[in-house]
Structures are given as structure tokens and as C-alpha cells.
Amino acid sequence: MAKEEYDVIVVGGGPAGVISAVTARNYYPNKKIVLIKSVGQGVIPCGIPYMYCTLQKPEDNAMGNAPLEKNKIELVVDEVTTIDRKAKTVKLKAGKELGYDKLVLAVGSEPIVPPINGLDNKGVYPIHKEMGYLKAMKDKVVKAKSALIIGGGFIGIEFADELAGIKDLKVRLVELLPNLLMNSFDPEFGQQVEEKLKAKGVEVICGKKVQEIKGKEKVESVLLSDGSELPVDLVVLGIGALPNVKLAKDAGLDMGRGKGIWTDEYMRTSDPDIFAVGDCAGKRDFFTRKNLPVMLASTATAEARIAGANLFQLKVVRENKGTIAIYSTYVAGLVLGSAGLTEDTARKEGFEFAVGTAEAPDKHPASIPGANKVKVKLIFSRQSGILLGGQVSGGMSAGEMINIIGLALQQRVSATELETLQMATQPHLTAPPTMYPLVVAAQNVINKL
Amino acid sequence: MAKEEYDVIVVGGGPAGVISAVTARNYYPNKKIVLIKSVGQGVIPCGIPYMYCTLQKPEDNAMGNAPLEKNKIELVVDEVTTIDRKAKTVKLKAGKELGYDKLVLAVGSEPIVPPINGLDNKGVYPIHKEMGYLKAMKDKVVKAKSALIIGGGFIGIEFADELAGIKDLKVRLVELLPNLLMNSFDPEFGQQVEEKLKAKGVEVICGKKVQEIKGKEKVESVLLSDGSELPVDLVVLGIGALPNVKLAKDAGLDMGRGKGIWTDEYMRTSDPDIFAVGDCAGKRDFFTRKNLPVMLASTATAEARIAGANLFQLKVVRENKGTIAIYSTYVAGLVLGSAGLTEDTARKEGFEFAVGTAEAPDKHPASIPGANKVKVKLIFSRQSGILLGGQVSGGMSAGEMINIIGLALQQRVSATELETLQMATQPHLTAPPTMYPLVVAAQNVINKL
């Protein structure tokens, strides 16, 4: 059977795959590029929770093919079953073989299915990124009387916030750890989310484990570690995901020390003609070089831009940066952002640090209508004065404030530099210049360094 | 007459003065500090336009004394008439003399009064930062039938936006240059503001000069350079300000090459015991070291933090940064920000540059309620790839996006670094990671470098 030859094959139709292909086109205008995706109708991953109330219809969250068409990238909907590294070909489920010069694996992740009895009951929903599945799930959720979400990370809290808007649906959220969002925020921030969810009628249960999901034909109740049993008719699994590495493992690529595919700083796997980006690729922490289980569309696209540019030549020097955990979320009008290390992780990793905090209105004077309180916490290395991490909560503007902190981390900015930062302030848009919280938090820490 | 001795005297009660005093207290807990201000009841400068509609009452924009009390800073309401540098004393209008070890001049600016006939008519209002004056002005404005604002910079457009909310008041704005905001934005941004103001009923007249203000006892009409005459009963002067340097000049301090008081990088004047900060102090441009006529509360507070820390010892090393112009504004729901050089100023200064642009929704998918379009323009040095300036327009989040650009400028970030930036994205808060406009604008410019 004649095989078709490509300069670049990208496997995966999520943000990592699409941006790899688009960036490759931008840097290498004459190459023949194809993107292979297994899911005919994908969705925008971060938008999944919002397919219930915020968006008018699930289709509004569809991942379109316009960027591929616009950039003359061929599209094949099929599953890649094997990679032949010697022949430099991939085999598709339908039988066809395609040849590559450079291959990009952007095959994503699979939701974690925890070791809980009864997960095979009808009415238990892991989050798969496929339109048909998610629409069917929505149909069930809106008809349910009571839903229980397992996991108090980003997916869990955003689902809880959104499902709380469905009429006559009782929403519960169970988190094993003592606070919400503990992997990315210190407790005082997670507690703000808990208050917001409770005010919206969500029953938040922290510090307890789901022991068993009970039911005959379908979910009927959930048994918690304290022996209590909650009647529910639907369970959402929001406890994270694991890198999808089967294809890479079968092809003999290195896995490194973590759970994802090993790559160098330019997203090249142990085979220099194969790149891996996004959730399927391993991450190394910016500060420690340890493996970092971060799976974010924004990280994925940053990696995809590096891979796409560097496919045939190393054009974009990455300066050995590693990955920073950088997140934002929105719950019932409250915005939270976190970047870099939390106080908790800094302590666990053995950093000597000092913490600066600040609070200010996000408009000024604070009597301007719509003003919210913004809280900032910055963590600095005590000796070197370098920013290690930051957290922020507030109104809508906090969503971009965390990106100021993110840039400051990536530039290894010091407390002194932040303390004398020149920034734009405006009554409708920011805290007053006298109280700009990133500056004041830096100033607050200076005496402690 | 016995003179009272202080370690630190701060002259001026605006943001520059207050932050100088508060920072001095933070760094030097045991010093005796006094702040002298000539205006009993000051106002928050940036909030002045919002004393008409947005705030419930003018008093909501009062500049309180709480930060001074909290930091044990004495307060004297009086005017400093002379400085005796030899004796190290200042003389007050009421006759008293105060001795200083270190003196901080934070005496601000005076509104520019342009050479137009008829400015002495009743009903012509420059913007003075004093509560009594501004309240009296408001009383007149709300009773007027028609107001004309001279000047299409920040003050002018914010006043126009706010006055347009007053019932039965016809609002006109006259700008000499062909577009609004031309000192800080390229035309395509100023034009967006013009559209917004027009939609709110403001008559915007660009490219024309006010020749004469006519009237007998009070303003009756305004004659423009094209010969047209507009009936108005109130004129607001919003054409900027000049540094207040009389006190410093009389004391023999150097004025340097610009209009403000000369200072070194640590805000020390030519007399090492006298510092100058804020509007009264000269600024040097971050990129060219030329004098820069920037007068902003945010710049003032950044300078005040440097002065306050460095009064007795140079504690905070400034790294010879100079001033970046960094602004944001809000007009009828549209947010604009500018930092560093515009395309226009870069060209005038002789930089070789390339421009990258991007457009994206500020939520994702764009069908999330409340999504706005955000536009970004970045200007990079062609050869060195370093960011020279950026402009952004959009919804509320643009107010902090400009501060990401501002930090990137101050860190001399390159297009490559921005192209591979790791950022937080979230459906309610930001553009999608695939289209994050700061990254896409950097990517857009890469091929042009």
C-alpha cells in the first residue's frame, strides 16, 4: 500500500497539537504538514465546565478547524496505532500508513480513575474531551436531582460553581485534602473559594475520602471515609489526569523519571525527529527541575510554540526555563490566580523564604461602583531576594494580575525591582498607585529579607 | 523664634509626598518625620473626573490622612515659602521655621494655562487638586447647559466621558492634534476612544485650535481656528500641567535640561540633602535618557518609594532605569493602555523597529457572556529584538494587561521570551491560550525581525 509522505505529522487535535502545527506553518511556510486527531468533534478543554449554564449551548465550546484550514494544514480524523521509528511512519487504525520527517506527539491525557469501588456504575462521569460524550453527560446532569463531584481542584470547583446554577440540582463536592485547591494555593485562598461555593448552595466536604459508590443498575449513594452515606444519582470525577504515553512507550521512547514522555528543553524526545508537547510530555519545575505534574492548556501552547519553531532547526532558544505552575480560576465572581511556588510547596522543597502580603481595592477610590478587594501574597527567596511564587484573589482584573506575577517569575525579578515597579493605575481599573498590591507586598517583604 | 527640628521634612500632600513619608517611616522607624501640605483637603488626583457621576459625592474622592497617622508622621497644613539650604530650614507662610536633615520636595504641578484670549472669563476651569475648588466647579458644571473641554489627552477624555452622563448637558471636546490621546497612543487607538465618546453623545472636534473664549461677564462662546463659533457656558481646561519648581529654583537647585527639578537616579537633587519626587521632578526616558514630560501618580509613587528608602543611605539600587510612560484609561466601557514608545515616538526617535499585532476575545470561547475584543500592538527593536513599547485596548482586563507589558519593558524582554511566555488562561478571565494576544503579537513580529 502506497504511503503518503509528510514533512511534519502532528498527532493530536487539542491546543498543543493545533498550535504546534500552526507555529510550524509560521516558521516553515513550504513544509507539508498534516494533523491527525482521533476525535471528530473536540472541545475547548478549559470551557468544559461552562457547557452547562454559562454558554447557551454545548456547541459554543466546540474546537473548530479554522486555524488548520487557514494555515493549509491537512486534517485526518483517525487514530494512530503505532509509530515505526526506523521507517519514520505512523500507522492509522483504518490501515493507512503516513511517512514523516518530523513527528509531534500532542496526544494529551486521560482522566484519572481512582481506586474506588463502584466506579463502573452508570451515572459516574470522568471528563472526556469529546463533544458527543459531554453532550450526553449534560443531558443526564440537568435531569439529575443530586450530583456529587469528587475532587476540589480546578475542574471540581468550576464544575461545582456551574452545576450550582442548575435549578433543583443538589450539588456536593468531596475533597480528600483539608482545603480546596491545595495543590496550587495556600489554605487562605482555598477557603475563600469554599465560602463562595457554600454561599451558592454547594455542600463542600473537605478532608474526607470517597470509599465506595453504591448502586444496583446506577449510582444510588456514596459512602465516605467517616461512614456517612450520601444519596446521589450522579457522580463527576474531577481528580486530574495522567499523560497519555502508550503510543510513545510502544515506540520505545524514553519516559524519564516522571509520568510523561521525556523531552529536552526544545521538546525533542529521545528520538530527535519526534517531539512531544502538552499533557503527554513530562514537565520539569522552573525552580527545582523536579518532575511537575502540571497539565494546562496554556503550558501546552507555550510548549507547542517552542516545538513548532524548532522542528527543523533550533530557532527559539528557551534559556532552560522549565515549567512554572500558573493558574487562574473563577468561582461565583471570585477570581484566584497562582504562579510558581506556594508557601506550602516552598517549605516542602526546603526553600528559605519570606512572605509579603497586601490588600487593596481593585478600583480607587474604593467607593467606585463594582470595586472588589484584591489580596496578594508574594513569596521571595530570603537570601537572594528573588520571587518564588505569588497568589492573588480579587475581581476580574486578578486574572491578568497573575500573569504579571508569572512574567516576574520567568524573569527572576527581585523584591527591590517589584517594589519600584512603574505601573499604570486608573480609578476604574486598578488599585490606587499608593496601594498597588504587587508593589506593597514586595515592600512588605523587604524588611523581612 | 525657636525652630522645630526634624529628621525628614516632606513638602507636598499628594501621592508622591505621602508615599515618600510612609516609605521613610518603613525604612527608618526612629526618625522624626513631618509632612507639610498647603491644601487642607486634597483629593485623589486620578479620581477627579469621577466626582461628577461615578462617585456618589465629591467627598468620596478625598485624600485622607490615615496613612500619615498610622505611620506616626506629623502633619502641618501651611505653605513653604522658602528653603534655606545653608541653615537647612524651611520657612512657612505663617512665619514658623522648621529644620531638616533631609528634605523631600513633592510639590507637584500646576495646570497649563494656554495662550488663549478670554481665559480670565468666569466659567473657565483649570483642574486644581483641591476639594473646595472642585466642589464649586461641580456645582457650576451640573447647572450648565453646555460645556466645552479643551484637550483630548487623559484628563480631557475622562472628563468628557463623565460629563456626558449629566442630564441635559451638551458636551464638546476640542483637540488640536488630528486624533485623541496622540501623546501616548497611535491613531488607531485614539480613534476607538473617539467612537465611544461620539456614541455617548459627545461632540469630538479634532485638528482644530481654540482661538478665543468670548463672553462679557462669563463665557458665552468659543471661537475655533476654522472660524466656527460654538455657544458654550462653561470651559474645562484639560491640557496638562507643568512642574511646580518655584521653591526649588529660588533655592538655587539645578533644573537640568527639562522643565522639572533635576535629580539623580536616587531622586537626589543637586543638593544631596534635598530629594525631589513626582510631578515637580524631571523625568528621563527609559530608552533615550531624554527629558520626558510624564506626570502620573503611579510614576510619582514609584519615585517616592525610591526616595523614601534612600534618604539616609542608598538602600534600593535603581539600576539606572529611567521613566517609562505607562498609562491606562477607561472611556464608556473601553479600556486603553500604553507603555513605553508608540510607533510614532519610536519613529521620531530614530529607532529601527518592527510591529506585531494581535486580536482576540478576552474570554473564551468568545460566546461567554461579557466577552470583549482585546487588541494588542507591540513594538520591538528590529535588530536587538527587545520590546520598546506596547498598546492595548479591550475590556476591564486590559487595565492589568498593560502592566504585563510595562514589566516586560522594565525587564527588557525580547520577542522570543514573550513568544514562549507561560501564562494563566481561564474562560471567564482571558483570551484562549491558543490566541493569548501578547504571545501572538510577539509571534507575529518574529518573522519581521
**Model pLDDT, residue A320:** 60
Q: What is the pLDDT of residues A304-341, one digit of tens each?
A: 999 999 999 998 877 667 899 999 999 999 999 999 99
Write the CA distances from A189 to A186, B65, B151, integer angstroms: 6, 31, 45
Q: Tell me which of A52, A285, A428, A443 to substitute to probe the interface with B (most B C-beta atoms closer than 10 Å).
A: A428
Measured CA to CA, the distance from residue B79 to residue B102 in angstroms comes to: 18
The answer to whether the beta carbons of residues B393 and B335 sit under 8 Å apart is yes
Domains of chain B, start order? 4-109+242-310 (3.50.50.60), 113-239 (3.50.50.60), 333-446 (3.30.390.30)
Measured between CA atoms, the residue of chain A closest to residue B363 is: A47
Measured CA to CA, the distance from residue A113 to residue A119 in angstroms comes to: 8
Q: What is the average pLDDT across B96-116?
A: 95
Measured between CA atoms, the residue of chain A closest to residue B444 is: A26
Whether cis (ω within 30° of 0) applies to the bond prior to A365 is: yes
Q: Which residues of A touch B327 (CB under 8 A)?
A: 424, 426
Q: Tell me which of B10, B391, B422, B425 to substitute to probe the interface with A (most A C-beta atoms closer than 10 Å).
A: B422
Q: Which residues of B touch A429 (CB under 8 A)?
A: 328, 330, 335, 396, 398-400
CB nearest to B397's CB, from A18, A396, A421: A396
Q: Which residues of B touch A56 (CB under 8 A)?
A: 367
The answer to whether the beta carbons of residues A399 and A369 sit under 8 Å apart is no
Q: Which residues of A touch B398 (CB under 8 A)?
A: 429
Q: Identify the three-state secondary structure at position B173.
A: strand
User: Is residue B258 over pLDDT 90?
Assistant: no
User: Is residue B448 over pLDDT 90?
Assistant: no
Average of per-residue pLDDT values in chain A: 95
Write the CA distances from A167 to A172, A189, A233, B126, integer angstroms: 14, 28, 15, 56
Q: Which residues of B touch A339 (CB under 8 A)?
A: 424
Run means of pLDDT, 10 residues per run, chain A, 449 residues: 88 96 96 95 93 94 93 97 98 96 97 90 94 96 97 97 96 98 97 98 97 94 96 94 96 92 95 97 93 90 95 82 93 97 96 97 94 98 96 97 98 94 96 96 89
Q: What is the average pLDDT across B124-146?
A: 95
The answer to whether the beta carbons of residues B253 and B271 sit under 8 Å apart is yes
**Model pLDDT, residue B320:** 59
CA distance A167 to chain B (A): 20
**Model pLDDT, residue B240:** 87
Measured CA to CA, the distance from residue B259 to residue A413 in angstroms comes to: 33
Which of A346-350, B266-270, B292-296 has the least mean pLDDT? B292-296
**Model pLDDT, residue B321:** 77
Count residue pairs from A and B with Cβ separation < 8 A.
Answer: 276
**Region of residue A267 (left: phi > 0; alpha: psi -120 to 50; beta: else):** left
Contact check, Cβ <8 Å, A55/B368: yes
Measured CA to CA, the distance from residue B11 to residue B89 in angstroms comes to: 12
**Model pLDDT, residue B235:** 97
Phi, psi (degrees; rounded to nearest 5) at B366: -65, -10
Measured between CA atoms, the residue of chain A closest to residue B339 is: A424
**Model pLDDT, residue A178:** 97
% of chain B beyond a pLDDT of 90: 90
Contact check, Cβ <8 Å, A67/B324: no
Contact check, Cβ <8 Å, B402/A424: yes
Contact check, Cβ <8 Å, A402/B421: no
Written as nine digits, the cell of A401 is: 494580575
The Cβ of residue A61 has, within 10 Å, a number of other Cβ atoms equal to: 25
Which carries the bigger pLDDT value, residue A321 or residue B66?
B66
CB nearest to B434's CB, from A15, A47, A396: A15
**Model pLDDT, residue A134:** 96
CB nearest to B407's CB, from A329, A339, A408: A408
**Model pLDDT, residue A102:** 98
Q: Tell me which of B35, B416, B434 to substitute to probe the interface with A (most A C-beta atoms closer than 10 Å).
A: B434
Q: What is the average pLDDT across B33-48?
A: 93
Written as nine digits, the cell of A285 is: 519545575
Q: Identify the three-state secondary structure at position A15.
A: helix
Average of per-residue pLDDT values in chain B: 95
Written as nine digits, the cell of B397 is: 482586563
Contact check, Cβ <8 Å, B407/A403: no
Burial B202-227 (b: 16+ CB within 10 A, else e): bebbbebebbebbbeeebbbbbbeee
CA distance A395 to chain B (A): 10
Contact check, Cβ <8 Å, B433/A368: no
Measured between CA atoms, the residue of chain B closest to residue A423 is: B403
Written as nine digits, the cell of B295 is: 506626570
- Assign B64 a pLDDT band (cuts: 50, 70, 90): confident
Q: Tell me which of A423, A446, A449 to substitute to probe the interface with B (most B C-beta atoms closer than 10 Å).
A: A423
**Model pLDDT, residue B329:** 97
Contact check, Cβ <8 Å, B430/A297: no
Contact check, Cβ <8 Å, A318/B421: no
Q: Which of B190, B46, B310, B205 is nearest to A424 (CA)?
A: B46
Measured CA to CA, the distance from residue B417 to residue B186 in angstroms comes to: 25
Measured CA to CA, the distance from residue A173 to residue A203 in angstroms comes to: 6
Contact check, Cβ <8 Å, A328/B425: yes
**Model pLDDT, residue A326:** 96
Antiparallel, parallel or unpaired: β B387-394 and B373-381: antiparallel
CB nearest to B26's CB, from A296, A368, A443: A443
